[in-house]
Chain A
């Protein structure tokens, strides 16, 4: 059964690691849904957060193969309930008139989103949340005319 897994990879921050990780998923024909990389609290170390939708057995095999990468020190495969996780999104929406702007402000407030940039013609709403929350606000804003939409990959920390 395919399900959403979050794979967290800790590695030395050297060039080429991303290539090796991506290649492993490619060989196993697993499509990466999202991927974020950043430096972490330990100097010279990075943390990859990768979400994939795949069979549990396959994910287990890939996790072990990820350990073959010399620079990789730790790999954790988690389900959503084991994590605190979020994505960040920006949604640029048309504002025809003051009434629309007013409505959008209200919608943003209700959804726990922020308005980060305003011009006479559009505004940019910033929403941090789970994939589901971001999908919800996207649907709410759609009727107003979305000019641009972008979301980051997931970042996550472990509950335990």
Chain B
């Protein structure tokens, strides 16, 4: 416990059980220093820790017991691994003498979590606890962040030790390179200075490095159009004149289709995921790529990089800004705006401001964005509504768009939203999920009610697993195999958890209902019945080039 206090931990999400009881017993004496949130399933704890970390940048912490407690964390750990989220999971383990004997609630947690952790370690002696925990927090939060699992045997939890918490951790083999090579920066600046159609792609790395201001300064000086990956959203205010939109399979039209016209691409803190690049061999055919990332393994992984720069995004952007010339690229930027107009007439107008028919997801998000002035933290689940939220919510503050990107974990949003609200109690936190994903961690409504977390929850209910249904419609000849959902009465369910809720079916009720949701001082659930068979466009079909993006 003392180690956690020393590491600056204020809150833990967890669930007790046999093999972690000594830790929970110690927690009883530390209630004034560390708040414990009792989740209803360990997966919820892992996602809540992620949401917490994503909203404030500090590591999220969760506790689980041995065996099933630990294995229930696995999805959340894998999610944190793919999205580079610093979480520290502490799991109880059976007494060291019993390890390997198939003891009650024994699982090989180290074995199970090795491929999905940045680091893991099993403690069998109490004396190791302070040093290992210090190391765990250091590793989770530095370099490219990621999940760390510390498995502590029950006997080690009972053990006594002379407490000494190391102030500074040094690991000889682990020294992430923060400072860019000056020569590479010079080459990159020269390339950008001579570019006709330069294009900046920014990702999660900008938010992790807290380099939002540096990104802004750089693009303003160079007059560089910039697009966000899914996790890059909110690193640049959505109303910034050089922000051209969101990349990827369901991204904006211009940012995708114009990728292949760019002559120099500066990629910062992003990893050229297949959802961004489309068919690799036809991606960025004309561009020389400058790629800044703190993880050397990301450079040249998916696309051939002309100038790789291993560095912290904040430092690299600062140095690059000094070297580039003041410039503007008005005709090039105008091409993006032309694409925007096309997307507006072909897609956005009908999606955001429909006059007839059922409520559309995009109109809900557009209205929400307008009503919150883009100042809320939006925590989004996975599926159609996720892409719609990414497209239509216009955040103006950093760390405001939280979702499961790499793993695409349904059920992420509700617990992650709880964590985010604890991290940023002063900000409005709104969870947006589909009717499918909401049911995957629905039990966390009990946690929300018990803690009276004033979390706002929107279910965009189309009675389908919408994204899969969309693919079935477009690529599987409308064979809707196992995608129709016969849902429970979500409002009654919320009521059962002592959470207020209301259901919206008519367009005329939508605006006031959203206002009530935002104004509520308590947890509040809004179920909105939306168009059943709506599709998200634009769309780069799977395996197609970004140029083959479809508007309809």
Contact = CB atoms under 8 A, between A and B. Distances in A.
Interface stretch (A16-24, A112-120, A126-134): A16-24
A23 B115 contact: yes
Contacts, number: 38
14 contacts: A12-B173, A16-B110, A16-B121, A61-B297, A64-B301, A68-B295, A68-B297, A70-B139, A70-B171, A70-B174, A71-B173, A71-B174, A73-B172, A73-B173
Interface in B108-152: 110-111, 114-115, 118-121, 139
Interface in A39-98: 60-61, 64-65, 67-68, 70-73
Given A72-B173, A73-B173, A67 B111 contact: no
A16 B173 CA distance: 15
A16 B115 contact: no
Contacts of A16: 110, 114, 120-121
A11 to B, nearest CB: 7
Contact of A70 (B118, B299, B300): B118
Interface string A93-111: 0000000000000000000
Closest 3 CB pairs of A and B: A73-B173, A64-B297, A65-B297
B534 interface: no
A23 B118 CA distance: 13
Interface string B285-304: 00000000001110111000
B114 A23 contact: yes
Contacts of A20: 114
Contacts of B171: 70
Contacts of B297: 61, 64-65, 67-68
A11 B295 CA distance: 18
B139 A67 contact: no
Given A60-B300, A68-B118, A71-B173, 20 more contacts: A16-B110, A16-B114, A16-B120, A16-B121, A19-B111, A27-B115, A61-B297, A61-B300, A64-B297, A64-B299, A64-B301, A65-B297, A67-B297, A68-B297, A70-B119, A70-B139, A70-B171, A70-B174, A72-B173, A73-B172
Nearest to A71: B173
Contacts of A19: 111, 114
Nearest to B135: A70
B412 to A, nearest CB: 23
Contacts of A11: 173
Contacts of A65: 297
Contacts of B299: 64
Contacts of B172: 12, 73
B46 to A, nearest CB: 21
Contacts of A12: 172-173
Nearest to A60: B300
A70 B114 CA distance: 12
A11 B174 CA distance: 10
B311 to A, nearest CB: 15
B162 to A, nearest CB: 23
Contacts of B110: 16
B296 A67 contact: yes
B381 to A, nearest CB: 27
Nearest to A14: B121
A65 B171 CA distance: 18
B297 to A, nearest CB: 4
A65 B121 CA distance: 20
Pick the most buried of A27, A60, A67, A70: most chain B CB atoms within 10 A of its CB.
A70
Nearest to A68: B297
A73 B296 CA distance: 14
